[in-house]
Amino acid sequence: MSQSAPPASRASTVQDRIAAARTSLTATQLAIGTALVAGLLVLLVFAGEPAVHESLHDARHAAGIVCH
C-alpha cells in the first residue's frame, strides 16, 4: 500500500526541484504578464485618447457649448 512513498531525502530533492521550477515559471509568467499589462495600458492610452477626446467633445455639445 505504502510502496509508492519515496524516502524523505529523495522527496525533498524532488520537491526542491519542483519548487525551483515553479518559482522560475512564476517569475517568467509574472514578467510576461507585467509586459502584457504594460503594453495593453499603453495601447489603451493611445487608442483611447481620441475616444476620450470625442466623448468630451460630445459632452461639450450635450452641455450646450458649441465649439464649431
**Which residues of the chain form contacts with Zn ion (CB under 5 A)?**
67-68
Choose between 8 and 66: whose C-beta lies nearer to Zn ion. 66
- As a whole number of angstroms, the distance between CA 68 and CA 58 comes to 12
DSSP 64: T
Nearest distance in Å: CB 51, Zn ion: 15
Nearest distance in Å: CB 21, Zn ion: 58
Choose between 10 and 68: whose C-beta lies nearer to Zn ion. 68
Rounded to an integer, what is the distance from CA 4 to the centroid of its chain?
Answer: 39
Nearest distance in Å: CB 64, Zn ion: 12
Query: All 3 cell numbers of residue 47?
Result: 487608442
